[in-house]
Chains A and B, each alone.
Chain A
Amino acid sequence: MTDANVQPQNRGLPVKRSKSTRWTVIYGDRIAKWIITVGGLMVIVAVLGIMVFLFRVVAPLMSPGEETGQVNYAVPEAADAVWLNADEFQSLATAVSRDGSVTTFHVATGEVIVTDQFDIGETIVTAVGGTLDRRNIAVGFADGTVRFGQIAFDNRSVPASAAPGDMRQLNARDMVSGGQIYSQVQTGDFRTIIPINELGESEQISEARIVALDYRTGGTAERPTSAFISVDADGIARVSRSVIRRNLMTNEETVTTTTTEMPPLNLDEGVEVTGALLASGGDRAFVSTDDGFIYRFDIRNENNPVLAERFRAFDDGIGISSMNFLNGELALVAGGEDGSVDVFFRLQPANARGSDRFEMVRARSHAPQGDAIIGMSEAIRDKTLTTLSADGSVWVRYSTSDEILFQFERTSPADVDAIPMLFPRSDGVLMLDTFGNVDAWQYRSPHPEVSLSVIFGRLWYEGYSEPGFTWQSTSGTDLFEPKYSLVPLIAGTLKAAFYAMLFATPIAIMAAIYTSEFVHKGVRATVKPVMELMESLPTVVLGFLAALVLAPLVEEWIAAVLLGFIAVPMGLMIGAFAWQMLPQQLALRYDGMPKFLLMGAAIILSCLFAYTVGPIFELVLFNGDFKGWTNGQGTGTPFMFLLQLPLAYLIVSWGFHKVFGHVLRDRMRNLDRAAAGRLDAIRWVAFFIGALVLSYVVAALLTALGYDPRGNVVDSYQQRNALVVGFVMAFAVIPAMYTLAEDALNAVPGHLRAGSLASGATPWQTAKWVVLPTAASGVFSAVMMGMGRAVGETMIVVMAAGNTPIMEWNIFSGLRTLSANIAIELPEAVKDGTNYRVLFLAALTLFIMTFVINTGAELIRQRYRKRSANL
């Protein structure tokens, strides 16, 4: 009945009622529908949005970069150059020619800004060596003398008001005035680049022409030191060291130079030296020749230099045309006459070739270029390297990832010698050939150090004895080689999740089955909310307990903990078999709460037992020192024995049932309950003893065969380890898994249960054969959801896992997960830097991992729901 029908009767008055719906209602309805539909679909947008955003941040990592500009021109004044340097803003470049003339030109246009002539007398320049930052040079001459100098650039900021008036525009960015480059920066001020060209006094080093030089500076500001290596035309290498002492009173500088002659190279007739290198540490020097040998000198003892090693870099007959360090000086790059580019590390293998027990090991073979490598230049701030081949190709490579970032082709004739140079910020290549032709390329490569092979592949990093997966993202210096492999982090994530699931799955599923099938409804009504409450407990609390309370306890009582893993199931079994021996009425009367309390008591008693007997257990099996055992004392037998115990029990019991099962069953049928219980208990004890014996025999056998569990799933013990993390994380995962599994079990229609029970099945048989198979997919989806949570858990791992990114399955060692890594490193990461993006990639990996797991679980659950609704 509606109002319209009621009112006229009540009041006796006809009511005029509009038949049409008010427009506000119609539009209100439409707007609501629209808003709600859009709002509902926003959830999809949110999920996709997160994924798209993460992808967008990560994407630039995968691109090698882009070429942003290219110029070529001729600077005739700079012909015959032997040294080239440029500033970090790509404004100016300075070339030193063989005759001592110095030409500074504008990189973008080729316009000559300053020319200068060093006073070098009659002789000519034959070799130049630069320091790592290219600012300081040592120049070797045909007469065997060496001079030191500076080809550098100073950059200053000049306020707009102080800028000179006669500035002439060179290109869009730069202006020139008085031999200096002015560029306006964002704040309106000018950045000024000033070339500095200096050459010092000469010093006689050799009688013969200097053919190769390398120069290093070091020491402190008060006491600078410098060292250089020179090789002359007679094949003699010399290392000279200078110490400059400044007298504080008179401010006078005294330079002491000591020159040590290296053991002779004994070069064959016609063999020429193609390069010399000196390491900053002053401990090693290298000389390369065009017959393919690299000589390594051990000069740690200044007075007694040793030729530590002489080795062939490439195949027979292939000379070394170019040699260089990568930045950091840990890796030696050799370019061959056939175009190959190989990287060598100085390592300490077992049978090292070198007399100092080191050996240069070929660690990376980069892609060969078509023809001989005639020039090479390393970056100052990362592991980028540019190589110039005689076929005219100029490649920019990133050595760590063995990736070719750019391939340029020179416009000047390919067969003319040229000097290539990477700009200091690794954002371009400058090349000057003998006739003064210049090629310059400009590129942008924000993340050269990352590629797919870096993130997921096995790489050989500097200073490591073999290729591996390593995560080590940051360090204090530019010389450090960043290692961005996510593999150890993914392995750590899986390890933590695996051990957590190992604890959580049985407990959660079994507890869910018990609650759903064997417990009174009232108990269920209290237990379940408690478990749900557990679900929202902050994990930071669990992590804190794990790290500060549990980890020290477990470390101290590790033997008792291990024993506990055996004692608790044993205690429960003893309880079960004792219960079976109870007379029927008693068993029935106390079924329910008292029985459950007994179970709890059995667990607590088992724990107490483990606590008390732990030291004895440790004494008997591990000689009283479990941690010593994990470090390699004693044999692997005891742990194997413990590990195999459950398996051995299963084998024994299965074997017995196969052979004597029906005999026992027939016999038991003729007994009353108590007697059968006793027989069953005896059977169990016999099984257990059988399992003990079997397990020990197998363990001893395996030990005899040389198998040891240590070094694999068990190894040396650390306080913050996977055992503790797994246990506590299980604690965080159990409530979710339990609730979901219980829901699934509970959703099994009651009539199935009733049918089974009515057919005479016991509750246990009903649970085992009817309820569980029906709910299996739901339970499985609960396990997957639990897995998803374990994978992403952060705080527990950050606090209790030790956070060492290592790859091993040792349950007693720490780990670092993707999530913990993000939490630790992202707050410090520079926005849009490489580490920032790699951490976003870690987040994306996590997102995808959980996305797959959760979507799978949800699909299974939806299907299960549909199916169980049809039952």
Chain B
Amino acid sequence: MANPEDSISTAAIGVSTGKPATRTGGKRVRSFTADLSAVGEPALWGFGGALAIGIILIAGFLAIIAWNGFTTFWPKPIEQVELVDGTVIAGEPTRYNTFTVGESVLARLNDAQRQEIEDNFGFANRTLYKTANFDLYGDDFTWAADFDIANVERPSGYYLFERQQWGTFVGFPASLVIGGEETAYDQGLMQREQRAARSRFADIRRLERRDIGRINHNQERARLDSRKALLQYGENDPRYLARVEVNNARIAELQNEFVEVQQRISDIRAIDSQYRVILEEVNGRTVDTNLSQIVRFYAANDVNWFQQAGIYLSRWGEFLTTEPREANTQGGVLPAIFGTVAMTMLMVVFVAPFGVITALYLREYAKQGKLVSIVRISVNNLAGVPSIVYGVFGLGFFAYTMGTTIDQLFYAERLPSPTFGTGGLLWASLTLALLTVPVVIVATEEALSAVPRSMREGSLACGASKWQTIRYVVLPKALPGIMTGMILAMARGAGEVAPLMLVGVVKLAPALPIDGFAPFIHLERSFMHLGFHIFDVGFQSRNSEAGKPMVFVTTLLLLGLIVLMNATAIYVRNRLKKKYAGSQF
């Protein structure tokens, strides 16, 4: 390289004094040579590489979740696979991987196959087929190695049935039973009757949920009322006896009602059992199912793109609006969404005043000194304490100490079964409020410090008191920043699972925390949570492979919620910064 060109460059290269200066065209030019160690190119690549690794990891992580989450509900074709040994399986190809072929497997292969595997360093490829039909096979999945497969085809006529129980079924509809009479299969008829059967199913559900739920609730209330009177007046008090009489009459009345509803349900059930479909799997074994048990069905290899999109959307709809079934591995996550949102909202109610007051103290009231330093260390410690410790504290203090006291004072009639004396929505949100309060404090402080000093001084100079200044000038200006903190706290709280496992999250909540019975909001109830749902389905269900798609979709939903909240917070914050950048006057 020629020297003059080098001389143009400025800071990017090192300056050397090793070579004597030369003159070019009457101008004295210092020679810039290459002392590469001054540039530190390898180190720069190391540092840049670290950042790149971070970004690649994040992108990869989000891509895995997004890809798996978004493709799960897309209907896949069904392949009919004939194996070398003559068995035939049919199922959705779920995933492929490479595996090391074991000794015993190698021994039964022929030379050509063995050679091929050896050429591939002992590896071979295999496919995981979702053969479904758990009630027939006892398993949902089958691995098929490439060297075992004789023939793969996608014959038309295969159907996929999603059932209320036993998971999916892969096979053909053999015949229909309509009104108790067997008829040949007809797609239009089946669709029509299935829809009718589903509405009957919904009727049963509604009767069970709403009517029987109400009867049970009222019976329990009457029983508790008797017990309360017993505790209040004693065993032989006439007031107690009178109350018991009233309540027993009420319970008997409700019992009659219960029998009536039960009768209606069994009537519908009787009709329901006359509409059935006989399903046949690839090897001819059949299953007889009520049509009302079929949630969704489609001819997997014969649907066009438009129909596929319809199925895809309907599955998303089911996921977002229904309750889970099949040990949470199928169906929807509505209760979990509901629980997550309710818990987070309640948490904000608790965290907001506490966080804002602390920030106000730190920014507006405290004299900088030892005390403030200790408060800051405390805030920092609150932020740094492991979430599980909050869970332990929440369980021991909120649920067992405070809850037990509340039970003794207000819910004595329900003892020994605890009301507030165990994990529940209230304690969970209080625990998380404690956990997220540092987030709010930090964000609020930032927002308060962004309010220009001149505005405060202006207000004070006008004769406003300190509190008036804060109330009418500082807080309104800082409000967007405080909101940012709230949103960030919500995002943090919504994703936290470990403490919730101790203070009230359950895998399947019997009832939502908000319903139609007084007092409508039941803070003592345990609830479901998206994060815990992921843990539960992925790790505690009968077949984690079957639950995996569900886990990915739930993860996508949770991530979506959190990313959305964070993005909002960041957006608000950036706008805030811009707004105040030039507002000094």
Contact = CB atoms under 8 A, between A and B. Distances in A.
Interface in B328-370: 353-354, 357-358, 360-362, 364-366
Interface string B563-577: 100110010000000
A731 B39 contact: no
Contacts of A857: 380, 384
A600 B48 CA distance: 9
Interface size class of B (residues with CB under 8 A): 35 or more
B498 interface: yes
Contacts of B532: 540
A616 B121 CA distance: 8
B354 A584 contact: no
Interface of A (DSSP majority class): helix
Contact of A669 (B35, B377, B390, B531): B35
Contact of A530 (B35, B58, B385): B58
Interface residues of A, number: 134
Of residues B40, B371, B374, which shows the largest number of chain A Cβ atoms within 10 Å of its Cβ? B40
B463 interface: yes
A793 B389 CA distance: 10
A789 interface: yes
Interface in B475-496: 488, 491-492, 494-496
Nearest to B495: A538
Given A511-B50, A677-B36, A734-B54, A540 B534 contact: yes
Given A28-B467, A548-B544, A575-B45, A510 B51 contact: yes
B123 interface: yes
Given A624-B121, A794-B386, A43 B378 contact: yes
Contact of A757 (B11, B55, B497): B11
B519 interface: no
Nearest to A730: B57
Nearest to B567: A533
A576 B380 contact: no
B497 A540 contact: yes
A576 B539 contact: no
Contacts of B270: none
A47 interface: yes
A572 B46 contact: yes
Interface string A521-537: 00000010111111011
- Residue of A665, A764, A793 with most chain B CB atoms under a 10 A cut-off: A764
A688 to B, nearest CB: 12
B373 interface: yes
Contacts of A731: 57, 61
Contacts of A537: 495, 559, 562
A762 B40 contact: yes
Interface string B440-464: 0100000000000000000000110
> Chain B's interface: helix, strand, loop or mixed, by majority?
helix
Contacts of B501: 823, 827
Contact of B375 (A41, A508, A573, A827): A41
B33 A670 contact: yes
B379 interface: yes
Nearest to B498: A794
A207 B570 CA distance: 95
A608 to B, nearest CB: 13
Interface in A675-702: 676-677, 680, 684
Given A585-B5, A670-B19, A764-B44, A603 B52 contact: yes
A714 interface: no
Contacts of B47: 510-511, 513-514, 518
B55 A530 contact: yes
A109 interface: no
Interface in A528-587: 529-534, 536-545, 547-549, 556, 568-569, 572-573, 575-577, 579-580, 583-585, 587
B48 A792 contact: no
B466 A29 contact: yes
Nearest to A763: B11
Contacts of B364: 36
A674 interface: yes
Given A538-B497, A764-B38, A42 B49 contact: no
Contacts of A580: 36, 39, 41
Contacts of A508: 50, 54
Contacts of A604: 56
Contact of A843 (B392, B437, B548): B392
A32 interface: yes
Contact of A541 (B5, B386, B555): B555
B434 interface: yes
Nearest to A573: B42
A677 B34 contact: yes
Nearest to B390: A50
A624 B117 CA distance: 14
B456 to A, nearest CB: 15
A506 B49 CA distance: 11
Interface stretch (B154-162, B280-288, B394-402, B510-518): B394-402
A46 B55 CA distance: 37
Interface in A812-828: 819, 822-823, 826-827
B468 A29 contact: yes
Interface string A29-48: 10011011101111110110
A306 interface: no
B233 interface: no
Contacts of A665: 35, 37
Nearest to B497: A540
A850 to B, nearest CB: 5
Contacts of B471: 32
B488 A536 contact: yes
Contacts of B463: 2
Contact of B34 (A591, A668, A846, A855): A668
A198 interface: no
Contacts of A572: 42, 45-46, 49
Given A599-B45, A669-B33, A850-B386, A545 B52 contact: no
B12 interface: yes
A795 interface: yes
Interface in B1-52: 1, 3, 5-6, 9, 11-16, 18-19, 33-52
Nearest to A672: B1
Given A36-B364, A545-B64, A823-B501, A788 B393 contact: no
B372 to A, nearest CB: 9
Interface in A708-738: 731, 734, 738
B580 interface: no
A645 to B, nearest CB: 16
A669 B18 contact: yes
Contact of B492 (A536, A600, A738, A843): A536
Q: Interface centre among B46, B376, B392, by most A CB within 10 Å?
A: B392
A491 to B, nearest CB: 17
A673 interface: yes
Interface centre among B37, B384, B488 (most CB of A within 10 A): B384
B310 interface: no
Contacts of A26: 465
A185 B328 CA distance: 44
Nearest to B551: A544
Contacts of B19: 669-670
Contacts of A591: 12
B466 A33 contact: yes
Given A43-B358, A511-B47, A588 B12 contact: yes
Contact of A595 (B38, B48, B468, B494): B48
Q: 8 tightest CB-CB pairs across the interface, nearest first?
A: A792-B386, A40-B361, A538-B495, A39-B357, A764-B40, A510-B50, A854-B384, A794-B498
13 contacts: A29-B465, A39-B354, A50-B390, A534-B58, A536-B562, A538-B494, A540-B535, A572-B49, A579-B41, A596-B52, A604-B56, A669-B16, A762-B13
Given A39-B361, A507-B53, 9 more contacts: A40-B375, A530-B58, A538-B494, A673-B13, A798-B498, A799-B538, A823-B498, A853-B384, A854-B384
